[in-house]
Every structure is written in C-alpha cells, then in structure tokens.
Amino acid sequence: MFGVNAIKSGKEAEVEFGGGGESEALPSTAGFSKMGVMPMDIRAYKVEHEELVGKTVEELFRKYPRAAVLKVVRGDEVIDASDNPALQLGDVIGVRGRYDGLIENSAKMVGAEVDEPRARDVEIEVADVIVGKSEYAGKSLQELGESIGFGVNLKAMFRQGNPLPHLPETIVEVGDVLRLVGSDFCVQHAATKLNSKPIVESTVTETFYLAVSLLIGYVCGKLSVTLGGIPFALGTSAGCMLTGIMFAYFRTRNPAFGGPMSEGARSFLQDIGLSLFVAVLASSVGPKILASFQGTVVIKIAALGLLAALVPPFLAWLYGFYFRKMNPVLLAGACAGARNSTPAMKGISDEAQSDIPAIGYPVPYALTSMVVLILGYIAMVIS
C-alpha cells in the first residue's frame, strides 16, 4: 500500500543493526559460522632456503606472524602443525596467509610453489571465542594476533552483543567475543590461550535452558498482585516473553549460555508453537463466538472488532512511517507486537525474508498486554 520493498527494507535494517558494512550474524545466532569470502588461502611451497632448515613451525610464526605453516609433507609422511616439526630441505609446507602476501613473498622466502594437495588439505572452520580472564585481556588486537594468532584470522568482534570495528589498535576486554577462522587446532590453541572454548554452529540442540526460561516465564505470568481489591497478573504469554528477552540479553553477553540451538530446531519450535496456539484458541473460543452470533449483535461485534483490530495499528504505522521515519519492516513488527499478533509478525518476517520484525515486537507486546489488562479490569468495574 505504501510502495515499500519489504526485502530491501529488511536488508537495510540488518546492516544498520549490524553496525554498517557487511552484516555479521550475532554470536550464537543462525548463520554465525558461515565462512563467506575470505582474503586468506593455503598454498604449498617446497623448502629451498637454508635459513629455514631446523626452524620449528612455532619459531617461524614468531618471526613471520602473518603466515602460518599448517602442514609439512616429507616424502610419504604428513605432519600437522600441532606436532611443531622442524623443517628440512625438500619439505613441502602448506602455508596459510593473505593472498597478496603469499603471492608476493612466499616464493622468494621459502621456495617454488608446488602442486601438493596433501599440504593444502586443511579443514577450516568458523568459531566464536569469548575472551576470558587471561594475560591477553587488555591487549590490542595486533598484540593478540602476534602472540596467539597462529593460523587464525579475525572475521568479526562483538562486545555486549554489539559488533565492533576490529582495528589493529582495538583493545580486547574480558567478555568480548572474537569470531575466528582457522583449522580446529589453531582455533583451539587460540581459545586455550584466552581461557575459553570455541563455539561452533551445530545441528545439536540444547533445550534445557529454553525449558527453564519458559518455566520461569510461566510462573511469573501466573503470579498475581492485588491492588485496590483488583488482582493484576502479567499472564503466561507476557511472562514468557519477558523471560525470553532476559535470557536473550544474557546470551548476547555470553554466547555459551544456553547451549547450541540449531536454526532448524528453533524454526520448528516457533512454527509448531504458533500452529498449536491458533488451534487451541480456535477450539476454545470458536464455539462461544458462534453461540453469541445471534441477531444484530453479529454486526455490532464485527464492526467493533474490525475497528479495534485495524485502526490503532494503522494509526501507529502512519505515525512511525511519516513522523518517526522508522524502518518499515521494524515498524511493522512493532505494530504486530502492539496487537499481540505473533502470526502477523511471522508473516512480516516471511515477506521481508528477515528476522528484523522480531526486534520491534517484544516491547509493544508487553506494554499493550499490560494496558489491555488494566483497561479490561476498569471496563468490568464500570459495567
């Protein structure tokens, strides 16, 4: 109706919330382990320079921190970097580094480039590593890279759930999340130095914390406080929503909190929960509505229902779109939240091909749930 491209608006909002530039998935969210296009490569070279003979892989990294030897092929033997082998003349080594550096320097510093698949057969992964209390906290990223960055490169950096520019002079603090790309050994090595463990995207689903969150939300929603003789309660929906926000807040600051949740499992729980909600609501409320549809009351209920359901969110949309200049997809999610309509929010997300509407959904949901509860009691008292 308003000429908005939902998909384009969703992408713009993702870039805005991602801190600008290419958007990186937040820690422990779907897609955070996607490799993407990297400026790194593994190339194979034959050791032909005498000054490299006898030098271990670790010694070479300390001397050349921008390149790491990940594999050594010696005849029929393939030696991993984890064994820290010393190089010999004629060895073929797999070196990982930036394209430009490898092309410009490796041949003249190591030897001729050769076609040796075994030296380049290294599986690369993406993992989030939380900076724990260690001697490396408080150092710059450049110092960190030169000390513990063997075979890894930094893809993104997050602090308290927000992306940060990862510049050489950026200071690393306890609790920061570093998204590292490298072999399993290299990532494990860096994580150990940072007093942490790597978190990788997994198809395994941990639902214990989700269940605890729902239980707490259910209990909080059932609790009632009596004011002026009128009982007030959040309701189970608002209670679960608020505890969900709280648990999500903790998870952005500690991605290990809550265990892995695969996107497939999350999507299934969302869809099956929504379907069951609609089914139960229809089976419990439907017969009562049909019983009340007699005479002219049907017309009154339809007219009042349409006005109450359409006018407030439409006015909210006009205000947010024209006066507040909000992103349309984010605004649509907020309007869906104000109507307590999870199906509407899901429909907006599907149309925009983005989860951004969910950001605008919770706060209006909680506020309007409270307001409707209070005004409902007032209406009953007046009647």
Is the distance from CB of 109 to CB of 45 less than 8 angstroms? no
Contacts of 186 (CB under 8 A, 6+ apart): 68, 70, 81, 150, 151, 152
Helical ranges in 18-101 per DSSP H:
57-63, 99-101
Q: So what's the pLDDT on residue 20?
A: 44
User: Poorest-confidence range of 88-97, 298-307, 370-379?
Assistant: 370-379
Residue 134, SS3 per DSSP? coil
User: How far is Cα 100 from Cα 103, in angstroms, rounded to an integer?
Assistant: 5
Same fold, 40-120 and 123-193: yes
User: How far is Cα 363 from Cα 108, in angstroms, rounded to an integer?
Assistant: 60
Q: So what's the pLDDT on residue 74?
A: 93
Q: So what's the pLDDT on residue 220?
A: 87
CA distances 321 to 2, 74, 330, 332, 355, Å, are 10, 66, 10, 9, 19
Domain map (residue ranges) of the chain: 40-120, 123-193, 208-382
Portion of the chain with pLDDT greater than 70, in percent: 92
Q: So what's the pLDDT on residue 19?
A: 46
**Mean pLDDT for the chain overall:** 84
For residue 284, give both structure tokens.
């419990």
Is the distance from CB of 96 to CB of 60 less than 8 angstroms? no
CATH number of 40-120: 3.30.70.1450
- Give 285's pLDDT tier (boundaries 50, 70, 90): confident
Question: Looking at per-residue confidence, does 294 or 244 come out higher?
Answer: 244
Residues 183-232: tens digit of each pLDDT: 999 999 999 999 888 888 766 666 777 888 889 989 988 888 887 777 77
Q: So what's the pLDDT on residue 22?
A: 54
Residues 140-153: tens digit of each pLDDT: 999 998 888 899 99
Q: What fold is seen in the domain 123-193?
A: Alpha-Beta Plaits (3.30.70)
